[in-house]
A and B are shown apart, each in its own frame.
Chain A
Amino acid sequence: MLVTLWGTRGSLATPGPETERYGGNTSCVSVHGREGTVLVLDAGTGIRPMGASLDPPPRRVDILLTHLHMDHIQGLGFFEPLFCPDLDVHIWGPASTQLSLQARLVRYLSPPLFPVYIRELPCRLHLHEVGDAEIDIGEFRVSAARVCHPGPTVGFRIRDPKDKVLTYLPDHEPALGALTFPVLPRAWTSGAVIAEESDLLIHDSQYSAHEYHDRVGWGHSSMRHVLDFASLVDARHLVPFHHDPGHSDVDLDRLLSEAIEEAKPPFRVTPAREGATFRL
């Protein structure tokens, strides 16, 4: 599979010279399979250039939403395939306990927040609520698990026919409530089972340790937390992701080098950079 990062920023799009290297678009990752399957992980502002890159567009695109916070769906209305009449677009995401995925998406894809109603989109749109069961999308086997983040939120584990595994946990606070982290086994650690032995783990790393101290419960991890989480799950390659909008490129270089110096991880670490690709 070919994994491409189109948006790496968390919370708010942050364009400008200070974020030029790691990027300012919010969460979006594409996964292209060898047999032509196209998955899009989250629909942050990075989905706009991702959609424009599909030339010619495939017959089917699957968008997997981890949750419906604005930075993960803001680009949805600007995804060109939604406006292609002959295209099947499948959107997968978590329902809430009371509302369907469609009812929750309509809150954004309708006036006054967006001029077009979801029912008016020209593509053949299919909405699916993700559960605990594994699903097959083209050549990929996808599993989802609810994880620790405010509101209904899932992480995705994507396995290709060669058993290469990508795990995507862009917004995740597995250390919530833990006096020290990690202490508990994988079964008792949010997201750990779907992330175990991933060939590529894309994971929330929004804060410094100091910032996390003042933001416990906001649903994100510190750089050190993600290094420790990746150790717990025996990840082979970690991509710290969902950079804080307040962190410049220089800040990110410093945060990562400090965390690596302290944790000395036994696996490869590559900070998420807009435009980066990974072939598994």
Chain B
Amino acid sequence: MPSKPIQMILARQLASSLATPIFLMDAEGTVIYFNEGAEILLNERFEETGEIPADEYAKLVEVTDEARKPIPPEKWPTRVARTQRQPVSRTIWTRNRNSEWRHLQVTVIPIVGEGGALHGVMNIFWEL
């Protein structure tokens, strides 16, 4: 397996030491890590799921706006931040496979290295 970029290795080390739920996606949208706080939101354990391709991740969770109107995956904050390479912050509702609804503030930050290379995005969640 090729090495992860050092920026993502450091991001994982930071995330793994925080209680704040954090997901890391690579430049293709694959979920490459989520910490224990995020495991509670997703009702999945990273040790069991391993990396999750973007299309599979879209099946694990349902995302809606404040009015509970579904947001299609291509307009999820993580996708917008990754494809448009800009920070995104908004409030959403999510429902995991256990049908648990959560009201969340999500902030997604593109992780851009030298030469403008996009290595991935960091999704930081805050339960409202």
Contacts and interface: CB of A to CB of B under 8 A. Distances in A.
Interface in B1-15: 1-7, 9-10, 12-14
B2 A193 contact: yes
Given A95-B114, A97-B114, A152-B114, A178 B13 contact: yes
Contacts, number: 44
A96 B16 CA distance: 26
B10 A186 contact: no
A188 B9 contact: yes
A187 B3 contact: yes
A176 B6 contact: no
Contact of A186 (B1, B113, B114): B1
B17 interface: yes
Contacts of B5: 146
A146 B16 CA distance: 21
A177 interface: yes
Given A95-B114, A177-B16, A189 B6 contact: no
Contact of B1 (A131, A146, A187, A194): A187
Contacts of A131: 115
Given A96-B114, A97-B113, A97-B114, A187 B13 contact: no
Interface in A143-163: 145-148, 152
A177 B6 contact: no
A131 B1 CA distance: 19
Contact of B9 (A95, A152, A189): A189
A190 B17 contact: no
A184 to B, nearest CB: 8
A145 B6 contact: yes
Contacts of B6: 145-148, 190
Q: Tell me whether chain B's interface is mostly helix, strand or loop, or mixed.
A: helix
Contacts of B2: 187, 193
Nearest to A131: B115
A187 B114 CA distance: 20
Contact of A188 (B12, B14, B115): B12
A146 B3 CA distance: 10
Contacts of A152: 114
A88 to B, nearest CB: 26
B17 A177 contact: yes
Contacts of A192: 3
A14 to B, nearest CB: 29
28 contacts: A95-B114, A95-B115, A96-B114, A97-B113, A131-B115, A145-B3, A145-B6, A146-B6, A147-B6, A148-B6, A148-B9, A148-B10, A176-B10, A177-B10, A177-B16, A177-B17, A178-B13, A186-B1, A186-B3, A187-B1, A187-B2, A188-B9, A188-B12, A189-B9, A190-B6, A190-B9, A192-B3, A194-B3
Given A97-B113, A189-B9, A194-B3, 16 more contacts: A94-B114, A146-B5, A146-B6, A146-B7, A148-B6, A152-B114, A176-B13, A177-B14, A177-B17, A185-B1, A186-B3, A187-B3, A188-B4, A190-B9, A193-B2, A193-B3
Interface of A: 94-97, 131, 145-148, 152, 176-178, 185-190, 192-194
